Structure 1
Amino acid sequence: MGVKMYKVIICLVLLFSGIFLFLLFFARNLEEVEMELHNKYVHSVQKISNTKKVILMYNHMNHKHYPILDGYCLDTFGRKSQSRCPYSCLFTDDKTVLEFAHAVVFSSRDLKNNQEDNDLPSSRSTNNNQRWVLLSMESPIRPKQDGITGVVQENDLDLRAFNNTFNWTMSYRHDSDIRKTKLVAWISSDCYLERSGSSFLVAQLQNLIPVDVYGKCGKFQCNQRSSERCLDLKSCYKEIASRYKFFLALENSLCEDYVTETFFYALEFGMVPVVYGKANYSELAVPGSFINVMDFVSVRDLAFYLKHLSTHPDEYKAFFNWRRNYFVTTSFHLDIAWCSLCSKLWEVDAFDSLNNASNALTSVPGRFKNQISISPLKTVGLEELEKWSAATAFISKVCDSPPNFVLNTSSTYTFPVARTKQSSVLTGSQRNEF
């Protein structure tokens, strides 16, 4: 080997050694920078936790090839999802802030029977106010499907493995911990119709039970933090549905077969519509999914019935039995769900402790600042969480389309002929009796 070639080799060795040392130094510096930035982030979260509720999304909701927050329809600071929520929360998937989180959300879709495969926290935070939340937005009997391969797996999750694990449940079920606290809502934008039959009915109901009126003619509005009225009507209905059990779907014009869109919105977003009109509602929706004013002799009887249902959750839940076989085509919006969770973290001031995960549906009532409590559902009678799983009926993802009932099974449903019931609730001879 010549001297010239030897020098070339030496130069190449020195060059590559220099590059290696530079990259090693750069990598170490980069690691230090990343660590410093991460420490700053953790410190900022710790600081923010004094003014915001920190919600940690611990596992994937659907597909692991997506970022965790994307699967939950969230960005890190909740700007997109929580822009209209009256409470302030920070959403994160950074597990290193577990110690400062006020709530830790676990999606049931990503849980496994073997605890060792779940990568759950080895121990709870020393923060005694931290809640562990079981999220189940779909039926537990719905098979799991990979978003890329399309492979379908049977959902064989045994919920007994998670007894003594969770404090709250968050689901589509009406007996979930994150649920409604108000009774009746109505939207009215036609103030010149204030002498109409529907307005008269509302006025009579307000003398007997709480009825909150939204719209131009009401005292309430969607998005209370905004100075503007709710411009997106459908979004307004979704917001109302997150808080109210019943919605007045009343027709200002009693015309044959005329049905306002409010009837469908109430069904779509999980309220029991109270209808008043001349349409045959049993031909439009499954009987038992709505309450017809014309079926009551007086407004007082109607008010008593609504109050009765409000205090008898088993009977109230029966109005959603149709969801076992049907669903209304609409969009499922998680923003309302996240706002509900965020709100409850702010409002509740007592730590709920569950001895058994099955008690997630019959938990100790959470006390609110306004002294309203969420009462346990004593009539549910669920002994184990897996029975809650078995009790859930068929439910399907839904998508945007005109209001419509879709059958989940291959069987057909024949709508019975609605009984014609004579009533004088709002006719002249009876109005003076209320």
Structure 2
Amino acid sequence: MIKKLKILGFVVALSFIYILNYATLKTSISKCLPLIKNSEQFYAEINGQKYPKIIPSFFNASINFDCLNSNLNKPKLILLWNEYGPWVDWKYGLGKYEPFQKRKCPVYNCEITKDKTRLDESDLVLVHMRGDYSKLPLKRSYKTRMVFLITESPIHSKEFHPHLNGLFNQTATFNLDSDYSPFYYSNIGFKWELNEQFDETRNYLEGKTKLAAILATNCHAHSKRIEYIQEMQKYSNQIDILGGCGKSCNISGENRFLSKLCREKISKEYKFLLAFENSMCKDYITEKLFDTLVFDIVPVVLGYGPYDQFIPRSAYINALDFKSPQHLVEYLIYLEKNSTAYNEYFKWKKYIKKTDNEYKQFCDMCIKLNLENFYGIQKSQVNDLETFWGYKKNCLTPQIENGIFNFIPINYTHKCTIC
């Protein structure tokens, strides 16, 4: 009898422990909420506009990153289907967790592989559309999504055959309509946050002796940016072309022309950095702008992207706002002679802080994939690649006449009214 009671007591104890553990587990799961209610996201009011207008996933204060990392025994799998230039690991790394942890991505519950035998267990299959995509998998599991990925503009892309329509489920491009867009495409990033060290009394013109410069290696860009700057040089001898298309930056070391040190040097000597894109395509904004923002220099942009979605209108000068390169130069000369007006372009920096974290599209992918544990698989189809990515429908081309640059749709000959 005593033996039976002991056994019964043991069973009851085990049952109690099981119930207690189950209750604890259930409580733990219920506490793991992917979104934080009433989260306080930092915003700044600048010229009547609220910034940031666009919040990348990795800076979104409403996401509970610890919750998304709580199921490490089931990491999301990202398959690299083809090559990305000479980099086998796409310059990010292969393996579980480490590639994301190394870059301080707030969610690291993911794995990157090149093993195509793992196709059906993959969540994303990344296809670099400037690589060899001739042998794409037509059949795959429901959760496996094909991602159309390209980091250049449509001008530098192939014309994609209609048979690719409907094959891809998601996109990773500069287009803001993409599922994964490389916000703040730069190795030198910034975060919207109150900067207590910002000096509102500083004169940013002090110590600068030259007017403007560009860093460029592509000397025959479709945007005709070098020709535009050469036209500017007719009205000032203080405008320089640096890099592979012009003078040396006189910085020693690897990749000296486009290095951080070169940009830093320019920011100390010049009043303006010409952040001119090589292509005039929809949403195409690259590191030429974002690398500039952490330095004390005013960017002058030439592109077809929505700049004011990322930074306030008072943070940059848009060449398209001027009738000609001559008129742009005249305005830059006015600013260099008027410190009050020039310093207005730095007021917004009271609300940003520099961050060295290398947040890339992979980080955004990992966050969104882990959110699917709570909200289900996000799947769609890209049915018309020509409309989404074709250069004829997404890019402008320059027409130059008597020193005036008009950027018009490639399909048309009339002047672009939005320019």
Larger Rg, first or second structure (1 or 2): 1
> What is the TM-score with the length of structure 1 in the denominator?
0.37
Would you tell me which structure has more strand in proportion to its own residues? 2
User: Which one has more relative contact order, counting CA pairs under 8 Å at least 6 apart?
Assistant: 2
